[in-house]
Amino acid sequence: MSKSKKAKETIQNQLLAALPQSEFDNINPKLKLVDLELNEVLWEMEEKREYVYFPTTAMICLLYESEEGVSIEVGMTGRHGMLGVVTFIGDSRMAKRAVVQREGQAYRIKATDVEKAFLECKDFQEICMRYTQTLIAQISQSAICNRLHSVDQQLCRYLLVNYDNIRTKTFSMTHEQISNVLGVRRESVSVAAARLRESGIIAYSRGKITLLDFKGLLSSACECYEVVKDQYDRILSKYISVHSK
């Protein structure tokens, strides 16, 4: 387990990296870097949460399954955030499922250890709380986006968010997967993607998407992407200097 002797500088999760050294040293021994597989279910609905995750290269999304059987995303987190605010905020259950949307790694920590650290470490506490506020902003914006914006706009927004997490212009992603996140038909995604391809904004083929024109992507997206990003930056500006690209 010499791998757990990691330096703070190498931490690829922004929230953990923002901790002061002393608090990081306190929490560090409890962290375990784990591999998350695609489609792995980290939280089942209504179950008690055992672990909290701080993703580094993985992406995790929170899914809600409606009575009609349609599943739809209500939140997403990657290296900018964490999965498990409910463990320190109150009752550690919720009516949602957490699924790994992109394979990769994350730091895992026991829920009980998080609760302890939350009480002992003042900065950790504030960072978690502030992250919770960004989460509220994110979910609020999704509510608005779902009401007001077209599939085309939402697709662009989603691709941009994805890029912020992955930071590679090419990544694996089928139209079907996108449709499940956005809560629309696969065909609607295909049509929207075709339009973007015609405009030279993206290229894609059989589950690989490449982003070509970021300006075009931004102007085709709804404002929700930037609103959420700006709020994240502002709320956490005390700890994180700038939304690193």
CB of 192 to DNA, least distance (A): 7
Q: Which of the stretches 1-9, 26-34, 140-148, 168-176 binds a copy of itself when contact is defined by CB under 8 A? A: 140-148
φ, ψ (nearest 5 deg) of residue 39: 70, 5
Residues ≥6 apart with Cβ < 8 Å to 85:
128, 131, 132, 135
Binding partner selected for residue 193 from a copy of itself, DNA, none, CB under the kind-specific 5 to 8 Å limit: DNA
As a whole number of angstroms, the distance between CA 96 and CA 121 comes to 28
Instruction: Tell me which residue of 148, 131, 155 sits closest to 216, measured CA to CA.
Output: 155
Rank residues 63 and 211 by Cβ distance to a copy of itself and give the closer one: 63
Q: Which of the stretches 112-120, 121-129, 177-185, 231-239 binds DNA when contact is defined by CB under 7 A? A: 177-185
CB of 74 to a copy of itself, least distance (A): 4
156 binds DNA (CB under 7 A): no
- Helix intervals (H) in the chain: 14-17, 21-27, 85-89, 111-120, 122-148, 151-166, 175-182, 186-198, 214-220, 224-235
What are the tokens at 187?
Answer: 């065909």
212 binds DNA (CB under 7 A): no
- Judged by CB under 8 A, the number of residues near a copy of itself is 44
Which residues form the interface with DNA (CB under 7 A)?
A: 150-152, 174-176, 183-188, 190-194, 197, 204-207
